[in-house]
Amino acid sequence: MSPTVSSPPRTIRIGSRKSQLALVQTYWVQEQLQKHFPSRTFEVHTMSTQGDKILDVALSKIGDKGLFTKELELGMIDRSVDLAVHSLKDLPTHLPEGLVLGCVTERENPADALVVHEKHRDKQLATLPPGTVIGTSSLRRLAQLRYHYPHLTFKDVRGNLNTRLAKLDAGEYDALILAVAGLQRLGMADRIHEIISAEISLHAVSQGALGIECRADDREVLELLKALEHSPTAQRCYAERAFLRELEGGCQVPIGVNTTLVGDTLTLVGLVASLDGQRLVKDSITGAATDAEKLGIELAHALRKEGAQEILNEIFAQIQR
């Protein structure tokens, strides 16, 4: 009787956007999985998303649900890939049926950064002169900065990080607002001129963290992903995502957050701002980290009572025009 030959473990296919930052993040995940499971094979498969293809229109004008994730999710549903690596801030809070957030990795600094043209090297955000042209594609950053610095001029900017920096260096903009985490991951931390404090700009929901999405019924992949899960980051991001989901705001709505975790106590600060920067509703909540999602929902309800819903209704009406 011939001995039983066991079949080799299946190859795990990782889906990724083609942008430089997305690939850096995806190859990092591949490397970590390979390190934990050296006998397994992990392949990277790339694809372009709608958000990558449309670069001449403001993000808020082309919709905000799944701009950078839909094609990757279709790949998981049709089983051409087994998991997808996202900047968690790009992942909608409502996922397609059959898909789940399988893992949240340890967070990089979630703050926003000021990057300036050489002529403004001697300035900080607070000392930039009236009329300074600031590039940002984020309504969240735009609304908060208009609130604090109404004398500055804001202009939409699209493209990958290198494209944006090239436009800045060519003089199309005087400064840019970018994510600290993205600059650090691409080895461009030296371009950070100032890290903007949370008092001025609350960051995007889940900014700085990676989210790995997979099929809900794929027990094998879910088990592998446990090796990369960072529980403190996950608790903070679950609170932030629940807050956003309850307010029904997409990534292109001026909703900002900040979370701190001390021991088992989580504090979530949340904000909703009008596009013109004239109105800003902000509050916080503190409780047990094990109740992260509940805290996010409760804070959303509190902000609604304080006027956030009226601001959101106006913004949705403006965007749909």
Tens digits of residue pLDDT in 89-115: 989 999 999 999 999 999 999 999 999
**Which of 281, 264, 285 shows the shortest CA–CA distance to 272?**
281
Q: What is the CATH topology of the domain spanning 7-106+209-229?
A: D-Maltodextrin-Binding Protein; domain 2 (3.40.190)
Q: What is the pLDDT of residues 13-40, one digit of tens each?
A: 999 999 899 999 999 999 999 999 999 9
Euclidean distance between CA atoms 316 and 21, whole angstroms: 30
Question: What's domain 112-195's architecture?
Answer: 3-Layer(aba) Sandwich (3.40)
Helix (H, G, I), strand (E, B) or coil at 256: strand
Beta bridge partners of 104: 211
Helix (H, G, I), strand (E, B) or coil at 262: strand
Active site residues: 90
Helix (H, G, I), strand (E, B) or coil at 123: coil
> Residue 320 pLDDT > 90, yes or no?
no
Q: List all residues 6 or more positions away from 166 whose beta carbon is below 8 Å from its beta carbon.
A: none
Share of the chain above pLDDT 70, in %: 90
> Residue 314 pLDDT > 50, yes or no?
yes
Residue 77 is predicted with a pLDDT of 94
Question: What's domain 230-321's architecture?
Answer: 2-Layer Sandwich (3.30)
Domain residue ranges of the chain, discontinuous segments joined by +: 7-106+209-229, 112-195, 230-321
CA torsion sign for 115, 118, 122, 128 is negative
Query: Do 7-106+209-229 and 230-321 agree at the fold level?
Result: no
Q: Does 277 or 291 have the greater pLDDT score?
A: 291
- Write the single-letter amino acid at 293: E
Euclidean distance between CA atoms 60 and 47, whole angstroms: 22
> Residue 65 pLDDT > 70, yes or no?
no
- 216-222 LR contacts (CB < 8 Å, sep 24+): 216/98, 216/99, 216/100, 217/98, 218/82, 220/10, 221/12, 221/82, 221/83, 221/102, 222/100, 222/102
Taken as a whole, the chain contains a residue count of 321
Beta bridge partners of 100: 214
Residue 49 is predicted with a pLDDT of 60
Cβ–Cβ under 8 Å, residues 268 and 259: yes
Measure the CA angle with vertex 266, ends 262 and 267; round to 5°: 105
Q: Does 72 or 316 have the greater pLDDT score?
A: 72
Cβ–Cβ under 8 Å, residues 264 and 290: yes
Helix (H, G, I), strand (E, B) or coil at 45: strand
Mean pLDDT to the nearest integer, 208-212: 98
Q: What is the DSSP letter of 203?
A: B
Which pair of tokens denotes residue 282? 């902000």
Q: List all residues 6 or more positions away from 28 whose beta carbon is below 8 Å from its beta carbon.
A: 185
Euclidean distance between CA atoms 150 and 170, whole angstroms: 25
